Structure 1
Amino acid sequence: MEHESYHEMMKRGRFDFPIGFYHVEKYHPRFNMPYHWHMEYELIRMLRGGFTISLNEETLHLVPGDIVFIRDGIVHGGVVDSDDTAYECLVFEPPKLLHSANYQSSDLNNLLNHTFNVRNHFNQDDKKIALIVRILFEEMQRENPGYELIVTGMLYTVFGLIIQEKQYTPVTKQPVETSHLQMQKLKKAFQLIDDKYAAPLTLSELSSAAGLSPNYFCKFFQKMTHYTPIEYLNQYRIDQACLKLAYTDKSITDIAYSCGFNNLSYFIKTFRKQKGISPGKFRQVNRK
């Protein structure tokens, strides 16, 4: 795949150390986090500004010092408050990193098997977890010799503190069936957008992929993402264009057509409206 899919199956980090680290600020291709889901866990750490993020049907507003814990399979995405916002993301697979050790914890297994629901939002009042997460992110950014051992130890510590401080609730019943099924249907629409964004997708095709009537699909999609399906499709196309501008040498014209725009002028106009900058300038900024 030449692009990052909304059901992200991209390799994270190295084969022997599968952790992805992302520092995000203005002009990052994914500054406003597009709604997506993946089978890894994710930690988000707020550095500056504010960020409104949705996790399935829950919405949080983040400020500096806040930490978000996202387990596998959660549809998430959000919008920054201002251009000076900055945040960092750590994406990892606990089974690969933690189950390789000889020690096995039934409590850890309960977390990873979703027998427990982990608290998803921490702040500076959670002093121990906040300190460990800060060290974890700093080590990932610096990549000094031995950082892999420190990071793995810090991840164990995060899960250990979650267990020790009982930052979880036991799952006593299955999720509400209707809500669960709706989220699965939404993921199918995301998958179609990911697979076919270069084609002239219609509302009918998107709602059909989700198995919902166009009218109900529009209402549910907008409730979950705060965009209409077509608005979201165009945002996705621009996000993919950002990735290609930043990481490939394709011409702006080729990128426009490969991202579903059949008119270069309209692509430039839409890009500038969403990103506040021209495609050419965006490429220059990301090549510095």
Structure 2
Amino acid sequence: MNTDLLRLREDRVHGLPTYPVSIYEVSETDGKVLFDCHWHDELEFILITEGIVRVQLDISEYELRPGQAVFVNSGILHGAFSGDPAGRCSLYSVVFHPEFLASRNNDILQQQYLEPLIRNQFRLSPIFRGTTDAEQTLISHLQAIIKTNIEQEAAYEMITKSRLYMMLALMLADRKPTSAPSRSEALRIERLKQVLSYIHRHYQEPIRIKDLAEELNMSEEHFCRFFKKMMKRSAVSYINEYRMQQAKMLLTETDSKILDVALQVGFDNLSYFITVFKQHHGITPSQYRKLHA
């Protein structure tokens, strides 16, 4: 199974053209980030299986525990972080393209349910804690989807599609029209996406606060306040966390020397790279590589 949700980006293809569904498993034992903030056109359900996980959806944050789930709509900025850095956290993610549920004809399902859902025209709770019968049923469907895809049971594609319909039906049963987000809120989210994209494109290079502020046409002071408010951490902390995630992948997936890994993730000083890595993971890059060999 693919365990690399860290590479999940808006331009990634999930599943196959004939079956656009992917199941991802993510575990974290030595850091804070399960997967970093990103967004994509697909819909997504996330099931927490171990530990305490903080899930960010746009500018809101939720704490979830094992057996609880979250729905991520198309285009929503989202990330998952350890709620207990000293403990292990695990989750499954089911990512699927809305076209998988689309009808060949523009029928009532498309017009009244799917299209308004994708356009965020319904006021829906994205969090399912299992406190109602409907939420318990939805979580059971999600668990069954994960199991049937992992084991590739007979007709698992059809089972997955039918259960996704049931899950959305449970969600939409209590739907209410929602007003569009305020212009200022929408602008803040778009600006955040813009600066995160900049960081993801340039993390291998030196990144100054001045560069990020200029990207959004803000003063450095205004930018720092904006980023801290939106991401609950400083831009420097986020950049280092993102670089550490990329470094972990290089350490486990390549034979590159530690110095080369440092250079590839934007550090021109090996000693500083080792210091930052140890601050995030409690061990040196060499120890991490041996541990995950």
TM (norm. structure 1) is 0.88
Letter in 2 for 1:260: G
Match for residue 161 of structure 1 among 145, 156, 170: 170
The corresponding residue for 1:266 is 272
The corresponding residue for 1:88 is 92
- Is the alpha carbon distance of 1:243 and 1:81 closer, same or farther for their aligned partners in structure 2, counting shifts above 3 Å? same
The corresponding residue for 2:52 is 50
**Partner SS for 2:62:** strand
Pairwise CA RMSD: 2.4
- Is the alpha carbon distance of 1:67 and 1:226 closer, same or farther for their aligned partners in structure 2, counting shifts above 3 Å? same
- Is the alpha carbon distance of 1:101 and 1:242 closer, same or farther for their aligned partners in structure 2, counting shifts above 3 Å? farther
The corresponding residue for 1:137 is 146
Match for residue 72 of structure 1 among 64, 71, 74: 74
The corresponding residue for 1:213 is 219
Letter in 2 for 1:274: H
Match for residue 236 of structure 1 among 242, 245, 256: 242
Higher mean alpha-carbon deviation, 257-266 vs 153-162, is at 153-162
| Alignment of 1:189 onto 2:191 | no
- Is the alpha carbon distance of 1:103 and 1:141 closer, same or farther for their aligned partners in structure 2, counting shifts above 3 Å? farther
For residues 217-259 of structure 1, what are the alpha-carbon distances to aligned partners after superposition, in whole Å with 9 as ceiling and x for unaligned? 1112111212111111111111111222233333322221011
Query: Post-superposition shift, 1:4?
Result: 6.1
**Partner SS for 1:238:** helix
For residues 73-126 of structure 1, what are the alpha-carbon distances to aligned partners after superposition, in whole Å with 9 as ceiling and x for unaligned? 22222421232222111222112x111556840222221232223320011222
Contact 1:7 1:36 in 2 (8 A): yes
- Is the alpha carbon distance of 1:176 and 1:6 closer, same or farther for their aligned partners in structure 2, counting shifts above 3 Å? farther
**Partner SS for 1:124:** coil
CA distance in 1 between counterparts of 2:103 and 2:19 reads: 12
The corresponding residue for 1:35 is 37
| Alignment of 1:198 onto 2:204 | yes
Contact 1:53 1:59 in 2 (8 A): yes
Query: Post-superposition shift, 1:184?
Result: 0.7
Contact 1:46 1:63 in 2 (8 A): yes
For residues 134-160 of structure 1, what are the alpha-carbon distances to aligned partners after superposition, in whole Å with 9 as ceiling and x for unaligned? 111222332334322222222122112
For residues 26-72 of structure 1, what are the alpha-carbon distances to aligned partners after superposition, in whole Å with 9 as ceiling and x for unaligned? 25998433222222222111112211222112121111111100112
Higher mean alpha-carbon deviation, 7-16 vs 154-163, is at 7-16
What residue ranges of structure 2 are gaps of 5+ in the alignment?
Answer: none
5 Å matches for 1:140-151?
Answer: 140-151=149-160
Residue identity (%) = 28
Contact 2:63 2:83 in 1 (8 A): no
**Partner SS for 1:117:** coil
Query: Post-superposition shift, 1:7?
Result: 4.6
- Is the alpha carbon distance of 1:175 and 1:78 closer, same or farther for their aligned partners in structure 2, counting shifts above 3 Å? same
Query: Post-superposition shift, 1:161?
Result: 1.9
CA distance in 2 between counterparts of 1:258 and 1:284 reads: 20
CA distance in 2 between counterparts of 1:282 and 1:89 reads: 25
The one of the two structures with greater contact order (alpha-carbon pairs below 8 A, sep at least 6) is 1
Contact 2:32 2:81 in 1 (8 A): no
**Partner SS for 2:26:** strand
For residues 170-190 of structure 1, what are the alpha-carbon distances to aligned partners after superposition, in whole Å with 9 as ceiling and x for unaligned? 12x321111110111111101
Query: Post-superposition shift, 1:202?
Result: 0.5
Letter in 2 for 1:98: L
Contact 2:25 2:92 in 1 (8 A): yes
The corresponding residue for 1:245 is 251
TM (norm. structure 2) is 0.87
For residues 238-284 of structure 1, what are the alpha-carbon distances to aligned partners after superposition, in whole Å with 9 as ceiling and x for unaligned? 11112222333333222210110112222122112112233233334
CA distance in 2 between counterparts of 1:243 and 1:65 reads: 28
